[in-house]
Amino acid sequence: MKEQLQKDFDNSIKNLSLSQKDIEIKKFCLDNFIDKGFPNRKEEDWKFSDLNQIIKNNIGELSFYNDQTSTNKVDTSVFVDGLEHNKIVFINGRIEKIDFEYEKKDQIEIIDQSETINEFKNSNSLSDLNNAFTNKCFKILVKKGYQLIKPLIIYNTTNSKIWSKNINLRLNFELDEDSSLRLIDLFNDTSEKNFLNIFYNFELKENAVLKNYKVDKFENKNIKYSFNNIDQGKNSISETFILSSGSNFSKNEINCNLNGVYASAFVNGIFSLNNHKHHEIRSIINHLTENTKSYQLIKSVLDESSKAVYQGKIFVNSDAQKTDGYQLSKAILLNKESEFNAKPELEIYADDVKCSHGSASGSLNEDSIFYLMSRGLSYQQSRELLINGFLLDVVEKITDSEIKNLIKNMIGIKE
């Protein structure tokens, strides 16, 4: 793999106009990655999902060079109907379109940051890979006091014209004071067996509101890793919803730093898996100052030899008195071969806090099925009704009604 990395790296550097210093940094990241390789199960955070092994078994040898000089045709049929929205379109890892047609132009700034590499704290070798190979990186700045009128949808599309086996994406967002953004990540893959490595960085200033909905719904054979870093200022709110369903393997990491007082973070997620899929959500909520709040709810329905992993950590610094942290994960195992692993973790250094977590996993309740069947439903209907209700609980946590309905329609959940 080393030769391949080196060769592809040299190719991609050639097409970029970078200063010597930036090339040095990228080289350094590449060397780091070559040194560490893909994360494997010996690393605590990857205990339940050995990415190295998964890539080996599903893709084999990776290639990393993407020729991004020519444009791809934007397929408008993938766009969401019935909801007016702003768009960012990625096709095979290349940004094809950034379109804020519904917004005031002077309130949003798009800054090309391709030349600056910012390190993520609390990261792994995949961030090195990302640093080495991302060739375009934009920062979207929402200016003070501006609240986007329409949601922003990021379309992440891959198709058969893809160059290599690995795509690295990066986007930075800054939400200035009193601003707000609703963001939907939509994945649409027709390519087969690629490794997508996505890093987002959010910076929320005082009173900013971020609502991020990550929807991986469509069946595909890709392997995805997505890392969200969220830094929150005073009084800010972040809401993250994850629908984890389509890809063959997917790991979503949310790292949330509550730096300002009264900041709050919400992470809600659904795993709906079948057919040998293996998905993971790992969340780290760092309560770093007083009076911060976090709430997490993860529910899984696992069928046909699928496997879901939830690793959630609540960290409370010794300054972070009056913290309120809550975390709950529940799983229904429908199939004998399916598996649910959880590691809900608390690390607490302050005494005046209220932190709790719960985790439960098991089969569908036979008594509930019996109850429904005795009222005339078939076995299949009762099962569906129970699962529907089980998942609806999480979808109802979405605070934006427009998007809630959109997501409900997407996964076919009835009220």
Partner 1 sequence: MDNRQKEINNLKDYKYGFSTDIENIQAPKGLNEDVIKFISNIKKEPAWMLEFRLKAFERFQVLKEPDWQKPKFPKIDYQDLYYYSAPKSMKDKPKSLDELDPKLLETYKKLGIPLQEQARLNGIAVDAVFDSVSVATTFKDELTKQGIIFCPISEAIQNHPELVKKYLGSVIPTSDHFFATLNSAVFTDGSFVYIPEGVRCPMELSTYFRINASNTGQFERTLIIADKGSYVSYLEGCTAPMRDENQLHAANVELIALDDAEIKYSTVQNWYPGDKDGKGGIYNFVTKRGLCKGKNSKISWTQVETGSAITWKYPSCILKGDNSVGEFYSIAITNNHQKADTGTKMIHLGKNTKSKIISKGISAGSSDMTYRGLVDISSKAKNSTNYTQCDSLLMGNKCGAHTVPYIKNKNSESNIAHEATTSKISEEQLHYCQQRGLNPEEAVGLIVNGFCKEVLQQLPMEFAVEAQKLVGISLEGSVG
Nearer Cβ to partner 1, position 111 or 360? 360
Answer whether 276's CB lies under 8 Å from 306's CB: yes
Minimum distance from residue 272 beta carbon to partner 1 (Å): 16
- 399: contact with partner 1 by CB under 8 A: no
Nearer Cβ to partner 1, position 44 or 106? 44
- 284: contact with partner 1 by CB under 8 A: no
Q: How many residues bind partner 1 (CB under 8 A)?
A: 35
- 298: contact with partner 1 by CB under 8 A: no
Minimum distance from residue 412 beta carbon to partner 1 (Å): 23
Q: What is the DSSP string of 101-157?
A: TTS-GGGEEEEE-TT---PPTT--HHHHHHHHH----EEEEEPTT-B-SS-EEEEEE
Minimum distance from residue 227 beta carbon to partner 1 (Å): 22
Q: Which of 177, 292, 285 shows the shortest CA–CA distance to 228?
A: 285
- 351: contact with partner 1 by CB under 8 A: yes
x/- site string to partner 1, residues 302 to 331, per CB under 8 A? Answer: ----------------x--x---------x
Minimum distance from residue 317 beta carbon to partner 1 (Å): 10
The widest CA-to-CA distance across the chain, in whole angstroms, is: 74
Q: Give the tokens for residue 209.
A: 């509101």
Please identify which residue in 16, 18, 261, 346 interacts with partner 1, judged by CB under 8 A: 346
- C-beta neighbour count of 32 within 10 angstroms: 15
Nearer Cβ to partner 1, position 244 or 306? 306
301's CB contacts (< 8 A; 6+ apart) are 270, 271, 272, 273, 331, 332, 334, 387, 390, 391
- 355: contact with partner 1 by CB under 8 A: yes
Nearer Cβ to partner 1, position 140 or 320? 320
61's CB contacts (< 8 A; 6+ apart) are 1, 4, 165
Listed ranges 11-19, 94-102, 196-204, 351-359: which one lies at the site for partner 1 (CB under 8 A): 351-359
Q: Give the tokens for residue 79.
A: 């766009």
Answer whether 270's CB lies under 8 Å from 240's CB: no
Answer whether 271's CB lies under 8 Å from 297's CB: no
Listed ranges 145-153, 356-364, 375-383, 397-405: which one lies at the site for partner 1 (CB under 8 A): 356-364
Q: Which residues bind partner 1 (CB under 8 A)?
A: 44, 318, 321, 331, 333-363
